[in-house]
Amino acid sequence: MGRTKRSRPFFTSKVKDMQIFFGLNATGVLDSDTLEIMRSPRCGVPDVEEYSHLQGTRWNKNILTYRIGRYTRDLHRNTVDSLVKSAFSVWASASSLTFVRSHTRTADIMVEFVTYEHGDLYPFDGPRGTLAHAFGPGPGVGGDTHFDDAEYWTAGETGMNLLVVAAHEFGHALGLKHSRNPDSLMYPTYRASRSANLLSIEDVGSLLPQIMQNKCASDTTFDAVSTVGDATFFFRDRYLWIKHNEHDDIKEGLITNFMPKIETSIDAAFWVPRRSAAYLIHESMFWTVKGSLVRGKPRALSHFGFPAWVQDVDAAVHIVKTGRTLFFMHDIYWSYNENRRVMDFGYPKYISEDFPGVNTTINAAVYKEGFIYFFDGPQVYKYDYAQKQVVGIEKANSWLGC
């Protein structure tokens, strides 16, 4: 009896955890809604403690091999090959990852159709219930993905759709955990009728930290760079590094981790000290950020007085001494008077004419102590604004302490 009493609170706690995850009333009791969820076909990545879209481990390379070992008899081999390839393509199209099929005995991700006990301590349970499971990145079984061959696998809406289940499991093989969002491909229960685009914004955003190259890689580039108060912000894709000017430590993560309202990449950014405000631009819209808080809704880029044909910019930088913000696009730039809040007359002008030595499309720009630093891919041009000349070339990764 004592053992039963000790285990009941544990069981109740686990039921509550599951109910919270799925947005049910957290009673700890196996009511009808809870039982319905439990009976739903689902992924077998174990236990409620794992239910999170927080990232786990990741692969240390961008080209991954896969091999299909044992096949299912439900589908022709060529169909299985095609669906597995398509499932990997779902993730490849949203990242810099490349998946290459291997015909040798070894591969990063081994794909197999098996039943019941199959040698990995996570036996399958027959039809319905657990459909498949996958191991996170790593050597040995890391990345390996198993499908329960007791299920009826199909390419359509009858049975279990192999493309949908495989795409979900390969997310785990890339290091993603489960999501609480029913629209996410990484939601744990199976839904056959998904949109043609399997990935949600959350899926793509969760993947980025898994595939980010080492910040000290020689080809490190940034989409936007800006001082913000006593720190410098470096944007790339939907990722952000924050380096405090007085310290060596760097905070990093998804942009949404720091500014939840911003679910896109940032194309350009600049800081106006006298307003203590940063402006973050994505395509034809921009956000105003004070402190770490996004103020209000995004506004149109036309607010700055651009002609209607300007729908995005490559880089922006505020020059404190002149009170001007410079906007760069392809081979031209504009000058905006922050005091009068109007575009200066006579613009746009050619970058190469007014910034000799900078004969390139600019990815990002930042102003510090009389110099404009122009980021061009992995290189940074140090430009003396008073002398009108390039005085040095640095590596972009040096800005992150590399």
Tell me the chain's radius of gyration from C-alpha atoms.
Answer: 26
pLDDT digit string, tens, across residues 69-110: 999 999 999 999 999 999 999 888 777 678 999 988 889 999
| Residue indicated by tokens 């006579």 | 346
Catalytic residue among 112, 169, 202, 338: 169
| Choices 3.30.70.560, 3.40.390.10, 3.90.1300.10, 3.50.50.60: CATH for 40-211 | 3.40.390.10
Asked if pLDDT for residue 177 goes beyond 70, the answer is yes
Count of alpha carbons within 13 angstroms of residue 94, beta-carbon side? 23
pLDDT digit string, tens, across residues 41-79: 556 565 344 433 333 467 877 789 999 999 999 999 999
Rounded to two decimals, what is the model's pTM? 0.56
| Secondary-structure percent of the chain, ordered helix, strand, coil, rounded to 5 | 20, 30, 45
Nearest CA among 380, 402, 401, 398 for reference residue 247 = 401
User: Is 252 considered catalytic here?
Assistant: no
Per mean pLDDT, which range of 17-26, 187-196, 285-294, 344-353 is the poorest? 17-26
How many Cβ atoms from other residues are within 10 Å of residue 206's Cβ? 26
- What the block records as the tokens of 237 is 């894709």
Going from N- to C-terminal start, the domains of the chain cover 40-211, 224-400
- What the block records as the tokens of 275 is 């307003």
| Whole-number average pLDDT of the chain | 82
Asked if pLDDT for residue 401 goes beyond 50, the answer is yes
Q: Where are the beta strands (DSSP E) in 14-144?
A: 42-43, 63-68, 98-101, 109-114, 130-134
Asked if pLDDT for residue 13 goes beyond 60, the answer is no
* 224-400 topology per CATH: Hemopexin (2.110.10)
Per mean pLDDT, which range of 101-115, 134-148, 205-219, 250-264 is the poorest? 205-219
